[in-house]
Structure 1
Amino acid sequence: MTDTPAIDPTAAPSGAGCAECDAAGGWWFHLRRCAQCGHIGCCDSSPSQHASAHAAAAGHPVITSFEPGEDWFWSYPDEQFYESGPALATPDHHPLDQPTPGPAGRVPRDWQQHLHR
């Protein structure tokens, strides 16, 4: 994945966790970052699937992982996975002390029962 208007390398992440889950007191499994505006949302396995909802509502078609050690990109329109892409504004993952799933204190004991498969 190279130069594309769907990726803005200067857009900083919107926060350390899913913006909508944080606002509602919810939790997430994994985090995704909008490559165009930096919005942090929860993955499609998470109960609320905010990253996909953001992509559809905002028309921002590319996400990247916001998990430590992952630097892949995903294009929704192409349904294409890319193993790498341009370097984005830091930070490139959630804080290392934030658990997965997270955040600490909001994940139910039966969290695995709430995942989308």
Structure 2
Amino acid sequence: MSTAAPEGIDPSVPPSGTGCVECEEAAGWWVHLRRCAQCGHVGCCDSSPGQHATAHFRATGHPVMQSFEPGEDWFWDFARETGLEGPRLADPQAHPEEQPAPGPAGRVPPDWRDHVH
């Protein structure tokens, strides 16, 4: 029986941080966070203004991401456009519980709902 991770998943790679890489660089904000299961890049979801998780897939071809929200462990395969089962990835499993969604605190505009996709 093989214990190898599915293609596009490296369980040993930790997440790149606690927030969306591109949003942090631009002092932006996100609705929810997603983590690349291959390289650990944390990007924002498709509801977020930047849609950086999908942009990361398009730029790198890394096909699988996992939710980076507390209490969620689901995976999504962008290439096949389907959910899938995956192994436990390197800790941490999610952004800090005290970090709000949308987030981060202090950067989410009061009319944030008008900016989501």
Tell me which stretches of 4 or more aligned residues in structure 1 moved more than 3 Å.
none
Contact 2:64 2:76 in 1 (8 A): yes
Deviation at 1:114, TM superposition (A): 0.2
Normalised TM-score (structure 2): 0.95
Percent identical among aligned pairs is: 64
Deviation at 1:4, TM superposition (A): 2.0
Residue in structure 1 matched with residue 110 of structure 2 by the alignment:
109
Deviation at 1:85, TM superposition (A): 1.5
SS at match of 2:34: strand
Deviation at 1:3, TM superposition (A): 2.5
CA RMSD of aligned residues (A): 0.9
Deviation at 1:47, TM superposition (A): 0.2
Number of equivalenced pairs? 114
CA displacement, residues 61-103 of structure 1 (integer Å, 9 cap, x when unaligned): 0000000000000001111013x42010000000011000000
CA distance in 1, matches of 2:89, 2:42: 13
CA distance in 2, matches of 1:7, 1:56: 16
Normalised TM-score (structure 1): 0.95
Residue 69 (structure 2) pairs with residue 74 (structure 1)? no
Residue 35 (structure 2) pairs with residue 33 (structure 1)? yes
